[in-house]
Structure 1
């Protein structure tokens, strides 16, 4: 059984830490839109235990996605009613990108900052440019990423790790009510696999500790076994899992 209070608590923080541009609510669902940048900001997510769907509501939400030129996406986190997944599957929605929300307790030994990781309370255009370009692909979109992170209202830290004055790894920490969320952890493509991301993660956890956080959380795709192994070594465990049901047949970066 999923712990609904844990899921709602973390989902609420996820929404606050990664803002969308448009929010709509429908009978226990929150539909979010952000120009198609990242699924978590462009999907309909249940926020009430046993949130239900019927054909009329699916059609209505699908129309809202299409109006925004975003691929209709339902993000299923375990709060939905038991028949929702099968209903979407029957209508042709494809299951993609199962993802784990991981959480780890923060101990006093986790609270020492890495002096080589620079932390800034506000986003800079340089941070956005470097982080988005290291991501590449659909996430190489400076303008939309800047709009999203500029809307964060919680206490934040934008991390940059440099080696020999070259920025090589980035991350975002968002602290809210005893938790620190870790987002956009990315390392320069030519320097991956040597522990730079781990240093950014550790420093953001330490920053969160200073902000009163007792728990760190993050999201990682189920297929990313390397990252899941790394986070497991850092004490992270799966709090819950979510997946996506997407409408096929439309080319979109949503």
Structure 2
């Protein structure tokens, strides 16, 4: 049985930890826009159990996406009424990028912050530039990433792991009401697979414990078996799954 209270609680923390630039509320749905940087910040997500969609509401939200030059995207977390997904499917919205939200217990004293992992309470231009560059692709836009992370109002830790004084891995932890959210865990492309990401995660979980967190959470794509294996070693398990319904044949450039 779907635990709507758990989902909404984690979704609320995600909304605060990864801020958008524009928020609009429509009958149990929150539409978020952030210049197209990441789907979680540029999609319509249900926040009310049984939230429904009719064609008029879909059309109205599509228009809001198009005005913002963002591909119309509905992020379905299981809170919505089942017919909402079916209606989007019938309208031709394609299902892409199923994602798992994972949680793990955080126990004070279990971990220590790695001495080679520096934690800063605010984002620096250096952190943003390096993290965006290591991500590459659509997430290489360091200007938009800076705008997003600069809007975080919760306690945050921007982690940088350095080897021989050279930054090689990054991550973000955001603490809120007993939870530590892990975001943007990324390793320099030529150094992946040797445990650097594990050190960043461990340090952020230790920091979260010091902030009073009892649970850590993160999102990982279903197809990313390497990351899921990494997080599984930390005790992370799937709390719920979400997927995206995107309007076909319309890129952000053509929108």
Query: TM-score by structure 2 length?
Result: 0.98
- Please show how residues 37-186 of structure 1 align to structure 2 within 5 Å: 37-186=37-186
Deviation at 1:145, TM superposition (A): 0.1
Do the aligned partners of 2:173 and 2:182 also contact (CA within 8 Å) in 1? yes
Residue 29, structure 1, aligned to residue 66, structure 2 = no
Deviations 1:7-66 (A, max 9, x none): 010000000000000000000000000000000000000000000000000000000000
Query: Is the contact made by 1:110 and 1:205 (CA closer than 8 Å) also made in structure 2?
Result: no
Per the normalisation by structure 1, the TM-score is 0.99
Do the aligned residues in 2 keep the contact of 1:16 with 1:153 (CA within 8 Å)? yes
2:7 maps to which residue?
7
1:202 and 1:252 map into 2 onto residues whose CA distance is 36
Match status 1:189 vs 2:192? no
What are structure 2's unaligned runs of at least 5 residues? none
CA contact (8 A) 1:111 1:210 kept: no
Alpha-carbon offset, residue 108 of structure 1? 3.0
Q: Hey, what's the Cα distance between the residues in 2 that align with 1:251 and 1:4?
A: 32
Secondary structure of 2:15's aligned partner: helix
3-state secondary structure, aligned to 2:161: strand
Q: How many residues align?
A: 254
Counterpart of 1:245 in structure 2 is: 245
Quote how far apart the aligned CAs of 1:2 are: 1.1
- CA distance in structure 1 between the partners assigned to 2:64 and 2:45 by the alignment: 14
Structure 2 CA distance, aligned partners of 1:40 and 1:161?
26
Q: Distance in 2 between matches of 1:176 and 1:109?
A: 19
Residue 111 of structure 1: CA displacement? Answer: 3.5
Counterpart Cα distance in 1 of 2:62 and 2:95 = 16
In structure 1, the gaps of 5 or more residues are none
Q: Once superposed, what is the RMSD of the aligned Cα atoms?
A: 1.0
Q: Is the Cα–Cα contact under 8 Å of residues 92 and 247 in structure 1 kept in the other structure?
A: yes
1:109 shift after superposition: 4.1
* TM-fit CA distance, 1:250: 1.1
Q: Which moved more, 1:111-120 or 1:184-193?
A: 111-120
In the TM superposition, structure 1's runs of 4+ consecutive aligned residues that sit over 6 Å from their partners are none
Partner of 1:230: 230
Q: Report the 3-state secondary structure (helix = DSSP H, G, I; strand = E; otherwise coil) of the residue aligned with 1:193.
A: coil
CA contact (8 A) 2:108 2:206 kept: no
Would the aligned equivalents of 2:23 and 2:33 in 1 still touch at CA under 8 Å?
Answer: yes
Deviation, structure 1 residue 113: 1.1
Contact 2:161 2:167 in 1 (8 A): yes
